[in-house]
Amino acid sequence: MEFMAIEVLLNVDHTYRHDLESFFYVLLWQCSRRGWGSYTGNYEEIANAKRGNVDANGFERILAKEFPPEFNCVKSLCNKLRSILFPIRDDAIFTGTPKDPEIVYGPIIKAFDMAIDGISAD
């Protein structure tokens, strides 16, 4: 359940965006070495905990406290991916799936390209 997309936990039909969200959680877990602790409770409670971790305040805490210095080079990538996958709409994170996949895929590919260029330059 640690890597399941929020909407999948809430029994929403699986989409391409949910795969990207799951990959995002794997990336964060690998970078933080420890993950975010174990999620307990029912699927709805776990989904709510994840929402708290990916909102702007919760996510900044994860980047600041959980990432070791060796992974500073990917913090901006993770922050960009979070903003692509969880845009703010009506003062809350949006976890839905755009009908046009390019709305998500294009910016994600660009974010990775920029991160790779930045790492290569270092």
Q: Are 86 and 46 in contact (CB under 8 A)?
A: no
Within a domain: 73:
yes
The pLDDT tens digits along the chain (122 residues) read: 889 999 999 999 999 999 999 999 999 988 886 545 556 678 888 888 887 778 777 788 888 888 888 888 899 999 999 999 999 899 889 999 999 999 999 999 999 999 999 988 87
Q: Is residue 40 part of a domain?
A: yes
Structure token digits, residue 3: 């890597």
Task: Answer for the pair 36, 85: CB distance below 8 angstroms, yes or no.
Answer: no
Rounded Cα distance between 37 and 32, Å, is 11
Residue 79 belongs to a domain:
yes
Task: Please check whether residue 58 lies inside any domain of the structure.
Answer: yes
Determine, yes or no, domain membership for 110: yes
Total number of domains in the chain: 1
Owning domain of residue 103: 6-121
Coil, strand or helix: which one is 97?
A: coil
Tokens at 42, concatenated: 């029912």
